[in-house]
Each structure stands twice: as structure tokens, then as C-alpha cells.
Amino acid sequence: LRRSEAALARPITVFSSSEHLDEHLSTFKDVIGEDFDSYRNHNLRVLTYAIHLLGSEHHLPVIAAALAFHDIALWTDSQLAYLEPSVAQALSKLEGRFSADELTLIKNIILWHHKITPFTGPHADVVNAVRKGDLIDLSFGLVNFGIPFEHVQATFAAVPYTGWHTILGGMLPRIRGYNIPQALWELSSIFKW
């Protein structure tokens, strides 16, 4: 194994809970409603993969805060083009709780978590770890960036899949009715090169 593959093969620490995540996410429980547990579990799995890819919990509080907000405008603003409104929510709620540098990192995590190519700005390692973690979860581990599939299975066993993909698919008609072209046009804006 190459060094990076060996590092990713080390045992994974699965976050089946996170006080840092729950501190921010719990304020949206009523707004998210019945989707709450699924969104929380998605965030915990992404947090697990991101921390494993980084090999350090140094940025855990910042990552957890960003994850709480990364898709939040789907519910708070009923937007399929949700990145910018999610950033606005995060910055308005987190100002004064994080440094300017940490707020920039939170903003970049949210804005670039669907970036197809690697992010190259400040704290690129952290932003890319979250970006990859989100894709690992979205793909059920088919795209894994070197994380062994056994780790993905262990993560899903500890933090169950509770219909996250069904919820995402249901957002199109929930937000835009059956205007599929409009929904797809708006949704396309979240993917960045």
C-alpha cells in the first residue's frame, strides 16, 4: 500500500453523535421536521468520512457547524439553489461564535461541497475532505477516495441510512411542484467546476 492508502486503511472513528453538530442542527428541528433524523445522519456520516480523510479532529467543531448548515436552505428557504442561502444562514447564526478565518472556512465548505474538481483556496484540505465525504455518502461509498468499503459499511451500520436519497429526490416536487425543467435548472447551480 502507498502511504496514503495505508493511512486511510487505519481504523475509522465513526461519529454516531456529535455535540458540535447537534448544537447547531437542533435549532432547525422544527423546520426540518420529519426529515431531521435523516439529515442528521447524513451529516454524521459526512463528518466521519471528512475527519478520517484529514486524519485529525483539529477542525471538527468548524466542520460540524458547516455541515449543520450545508443543505439547510432546502428547508429554511425552500430553495433548490440552496448553497448561497445556506451560507447566509450559517454566517448570520455563527458570527461571533467563530473567528473570521473559521467563518471563511465554514463559508467555503458550504459553497464548494458539490465542487467536481478539487477546491484550491484557503484550507483546501478541509474543504476537500468535506466535499469528498459528502460524495462518499451520496454514492453509498461507490466513490470512496481510498476509504476502504469496510469503513463505509461500518459507518452505515453505526449511523443508519434513513432515506436520505429519497428525501433529496422528493425535494424537487416538494419545492417546485412538477415543473421538472425549472427544478433541474435550479439544482444544476449547486454543482461547481
Mean pLDDT, 10 residues at a time, over the chain (193 residues)? 74 98 98 98 98 97 98 97 98 98 98 97 98 97 96 97 93 92 92 91
Taking a C-beta distance cutoff of 8 angstroms, is the pair 10, 53 a contact?
no
CB neighbour burial string for 161-190, b if at least 16 within 10 angstroms, e if fewer: beebeebbeebbeebbeeeeeebeebbeeb
Distance CA 117, CA 111 (A): 13
pTM: 0.96
